[in-house]
């Protein structure tokens, strides 16, 4: 398998073509951004840790029957994945009130939701990923109804699997973001699952072990990622 030109550079990753039109290489950078890229920085070895954490979580999900884009981790910073036509809808799952949900409802962070909540955001950097609902998705033709039904089913199932996995490692899965895409007529989970895209709180102390340490200038950012990596990749 040969690495070819960069196809796309995002905030945290670069996608490279390969000599196989069905597969691409996902390269994990140390760059960190927040608040729609208004805040920029870097987290030492974040790319290495997110690649390792994502590998474990994609393998776990595949084992549990969730179709993902993951093929194999190639090296410290690169993962071989199936090429997706990304559906421009970010799917957020929530178990505990935090972040934008706390703000929207004027509720304190930390209260458990009585049942998981699934939300949709339109994937658009210039617009700052506005929240949308299934009617917008249908009217704008972002995805078909059957695709969204499948994505919702997968989203809740992924939440159950990951919540249990993190719980066993002393971590509360507060909320997280997923992206899906089309590959040879099938919906696959794409992107990455890591402390950039999940809120992870230590059980008991409720210490934040995720990108909120960077967003909110809480310090010990690298240490938090290392701690998640240690518990997930053990
Ligand atoms: N999230 C993400 N990318 C985004 C927006 C959110 O990975 O562009 C994740 C975020 O890390 C959190 C969850 O989705 O785990 C919910 O984020 P929220 O809506 O609370 O927004 P935020 O507070 O991050 O602005």
Indicate the pLDDT class of residue 103, thresholds 50, 70 and 90. Answer: very high
Q: For ligand 1, pick from 129, 173, 175 the residue to mutate: most ligand atoms within 8 Å of CB.
A: 175
Residue 198 CA: nearest ligand 1 atom is 15
At residue 1, the pLDDT reads 85
Q: Is the CB of 199 under 6 A from ligand 1?
A: yes
Asked if residue 209 has its Cβ within 6 Å of ligand 1, the reply is no
Q: At what angle do helices 46-63 and 221-233 cross, to 10 degrees?
A: 30
Q: What is the pLDDT of residue 34?
A: 97
Mean pLDDT of the chain: 98
Dist. CA 3 → ligand 1 center (Å): 31
Q: Quick one: average pLDDT of 192-218?
A: 98
What digits encode the pLDDT tens for the residues 6-28? 999 999 999 999 999 999 999 99
Compute CA distances 65 → 146, 154, 164, 174, 198, whole Å.
19, 10, 16, 23, 21
CB 13 within 8 A of CB 34: no
Residue 89: CB within 6 Å of ligand 1?
no
Q: What is the position in ligand 1's atom list of the atom closest to the CA of 177?
A: 14
Q: Ligand 1, residues 35, 191, 197: which to mutate, most atoms within 8 A of Cβ?
A: 197
pLDDT at 128: 95
Q: Which residues, in sequence order, are CB contacts of 212 under 8 Å at separation 6+? A: 99, 199, 218
Nearest in space to 178 (alpha carbons), one of 72, 6, 54? 54
């Amino acid at each position: 398998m040969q690495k070819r030109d960069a196809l796309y550079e995002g905030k945290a990753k670069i996608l490279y073509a390969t000599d196989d039109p069905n597969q691409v290489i996902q390269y994990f950078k140390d760059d960190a951004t927040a608040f729609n890229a208004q805040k920029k920085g870097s987290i030492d070895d974040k790319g290495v840790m997110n690649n390792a954490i994502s590998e474990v979580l994609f393998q776990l999900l595949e084992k549990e029957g969730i179709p993902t884009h993951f093929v194999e981790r190639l090296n410290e910073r690169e993962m071989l994945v199936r090429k997706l036509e990304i559906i421009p809808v970010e799917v957020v799952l929530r178990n505990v009130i935090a972040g934008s949900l706390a703000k929207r409802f004027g509720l304190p962070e930390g209260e458990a939701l009585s049942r998981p909540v699934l939300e949709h955001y339109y994937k658009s950097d210039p617009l700052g990923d506005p929240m949308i609902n299934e009617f917008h998705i249908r009217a704008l033709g972002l995805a078909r109804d059957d695709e969204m039904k499948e994505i919702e089913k997968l989203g809740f199932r992924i939440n159950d699997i990951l919540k249990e996995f993190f719980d066993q490692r002393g971590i509360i899965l507060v909320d997280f973001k997923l992206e899906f895409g089309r590959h040879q007529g099938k919906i696959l989970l794409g992107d990455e699952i890591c402390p950039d895209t999940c809120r992870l709180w230590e059980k008991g102390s409720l210490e934040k072990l995720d990108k909120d340490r960077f967003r909110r200038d809480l310090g010990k950012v690298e240490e938090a990622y290392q701690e998640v990596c240690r518990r997930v990749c053990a």
